[in-house]
Structure 1
């Protein structure tokens, strides 16, 4: 019985990590925010998220295939500066595409950008888990959009933390620090209520 569990755990950890990937989490958050705050922007939001994810994903795959990265997660700290730079540029482009400061989701996008800036600066000392940061951020932001129904997302944090540790992508300190950063930035004043 324990052999089955030992063989299954890595697959489950990988599955959890893929399903709760920052692309999926922020994509879902953006769509829910558009649906709740400005339903007319739903199509524009979906297109913007699709283009943003495609740009970053092409870059990630290129870095991995060229041998510059060990994994598609940019698992080494020295792999992350270029990723942060690209993601921040793409997030800025998405913010502009959605209408800049006039967009209903502007403050949420800017709070996510602030979170990424802090993670990029902290990368000099610690490789924060962006998986954990994005899910924690989404849990707080969704609570402002959906109320108590967003508790489900918060309850996924321990499962994702286990996944990142089980896969060896992060240390416990990196998982906890990523979670704390996401919670703090998700709670920034001015997020939609």
Structure 2
């Protein structure tokens, strides 16, 4: 293999790791744990169980679709693969909201904001396959500003690296990456308005 080929392989490998580490599941686990520590510390273990169960169910569904050959990648990269993904994620979020409604009521607004963001992405999917990686990190970064400004800054500073990785892996176009970022930021801002 030539030096250029090795460099391309290394950069693709690094891009893959960036996408794994900053996967929406990982981002939302971290966001939930930080938020619940600040807003409802008494519900930390309930929230941890809820988010772990949500991620496990969602990941099992994604892995089954990929293993069965119904999806080309674990990212549901083709727009036709997205509607079912959105439906499953929304069902899982509804269960999380029901579980958390009495245990950590302040988390309810965040869950509803994420659900609304996914509904918007699903409706726009006919025209553009927005990056959920970018949307989740932007949502986390903006929504954390009032809770943990330092972590919010880290999330925002990681957005260009994540954008590069999604483009490098050819999972999204530049418009889809920018659109996903704007979507996440917009719904996080709406959460701040609702939370007062």
- CA distance in 2 between counterparts of 1:163 and 1:40 reads 37
Deviation at 1:99, TM superposition (A): 1.4
* Residue equivalent to 1:53: 55
CA RMSD of aligned residues (A): 1.5
Greater alpha carbon shift after TM alignment, 124-133 vs 143-152: 143-152
- CA distance in 1 between counterparts of 2:114 and 2:67 reads 28
1:183 and 2:182 equivalent?
no
Q: Is the 8 A contact 2:135 2:182 kept in 1?
A: yes
- CA distance in 2 between counterparts of 1:16 and 1:103 reads 33
- Shift of the 102–47 alpha-carbon distance from structure 1 to 2, 3 Å rule, reads closer
1:127 and 2:111 equivalent?
no
Deviation >4 Å, runs of 4+: 1-4
Mapping of residues 111-190 of structure 1, within 5 Å: 111-188=113-190, 189-190=193-194
Give SS of 1:168's match: coil
Q: Is the 8 A contact 1:64 1:70 kept in 2?
A: yes
Deviation at 1:117, TM superposition (A): 0.5
Q: Is the 8 A contact 1:100 1:106 kept in 2?
A: no
User: Which one of the candidate residues 35, 39, 48 is aligned to 2:37?
Assistant: 35
* Residue equivalent to 2:25: 23
Deviation at 1:108, TM superposition (A): 1.0
Q: Which runs of 5+ in 1 are unaligned?
A: none
Q: Is the 8 A contact 1:132 1:178 kept in 2?
A: yes
Aligned length: 192
Once the two structures are superposed, residues 127-160 of structure 1 have per-residue CA deviations (whole angstroms, 9 ceiling, x without a partner) of: 0000000000000011121124421110000000
